[in-house]
Amino acid sequence: MQNTRRLLITSLLFLIGSLIVGCEPTAQMIVPTALPTITLTFTPSPTRTPGRDTTPTQRAVAQAATAGPSPTPLFGSTRLPTTAIYITPTRAANPNAPRIEFFTSDVLGIEPGGKITLYWSARNVDTVLLYRIQQGERSQVFNNLPPDGRLEIPTKRSERGQLDFLLSAGRDSDYVEQTLTIPFQCPISWFFSPPPEDCPDDVPLDTRLTEQTFERGRMLFVESQNLIYVLFNDGQDPSWLSFENKYDPAIHPEKDPNAPPDFIQPLRELGLVWRTNDTVRNRLGLGTADGASYDGSLQTFTRTGRSPQIYVSSADGTILKILAGGQTWQIIVPIPAAAAEGS
């Protein structure tokens, strides 16, 4: 009986094992894993030890994984500047200090002899001063003028160049100044072109001229002025001289009768100066051509406080510019009238 039970149990176990082996799958099941993700690694901070004088340590800072670029902060870089920035406060202007609102005139340019009206306005002052500036100096002053005002000033027909004024508001060390310049407009034309930038003193003067060239310069007699100009080109000073004409045909010979026949000598007005002045004769040398008489023009320009500059026609069609004070002289080649009109 017992043997029969053991046999039955053994047969039953064998049958269960066969069923299990027959049901086992032939392929191994693969379990999918999740996609890799970026994980942040943290550096743990040391454990704080309670205490009154304990210095707190910095909290752990999250570090980005090396699998991608570092993220950019939303509010820009948190890097602190390495240099300190110091801002110097600006001192506010004194609202009670004298000031000039404007200083102007009724015209941009004026003809010599005309009148000009000046206008001004100043603040924080009771009166102002107005100066006329000439040659860099305060030559004329208008005192006790109102802070807001106007003033009419006449000019002379002989004035040239420009008008310069200075307005001063305030007193002692607390004052302000402003300048104003008005150019003179030239009402007169030059007798040649291109014209100088300066304005001539007067209209051209028609005159009779006599000119002669020498080895080291030339001589020029201007009949309207009754003057003889001696222009040297020997490099010495002065560059030119002028002499009053003293030739009298009733007294003085026209030429030197003792001169060699082939000698080119100056005659009459020029000859008297050349024969009687050793400096002129030695610096000029001998004549290179006979003197020529012709009709020409002369015009001058005078700077304030100086002798006039002279522009005069030459026998060869050029213009001789004789500067003031014997400084120098120049030759100007004029533009033909047709060319000047075309330009």
State the 10-residue block means of pLDDT for the chain, 343 residues long: 61 58 49 52 51 49 49 54 60 84 94 93 95 90 95 89 93 91 91 90 95 97 97 94 96 88 90 95 94 96 84 96 89 75 55
Cα 70 from chain centroid (whole Å): 55
What confidence score (pLDDT) does residue 61 get?
45
Query: What's the predicted TM-score (pTM) here?
Result: 0.59
What confidence score (pLDDT) does residue 139 get?
87
Cα dihedral sign, 238-242-247-253: positive
Which is nearest to 265 in space by CA: 209, 212, 210?
212
User: Which letter does DSSP use for residue 12 in this model?
Assistant: H
What confidence score (pLDDT) does residue 280 get?
96
Q: What are phi and psi of 221, to 5 degrees?
A: -105, 120
What confidence score (pLDDT) does residue 237 get?
92
What confidence score (pLDDT) does residue 35 get?
53
What confidence score (pLDDT) does residue 305 get?
72
CATH 2.60.40.1930 maps onto the chain at 99-183
What confidence score (pLDDT) does residue 232 get?
97
What confidence score (pLDDT) does residue 92 get?
65
User: Pseudo-torsion of CA 199, 203, 207, 212, nearest 10°?
Assistant: 10
State the fold for domain 99-183: Immunoglobulin-like (2.60.40)
Do 256 and 265 meet the contact criterion of CB atoms below 8 Å apart?
Answer: yes
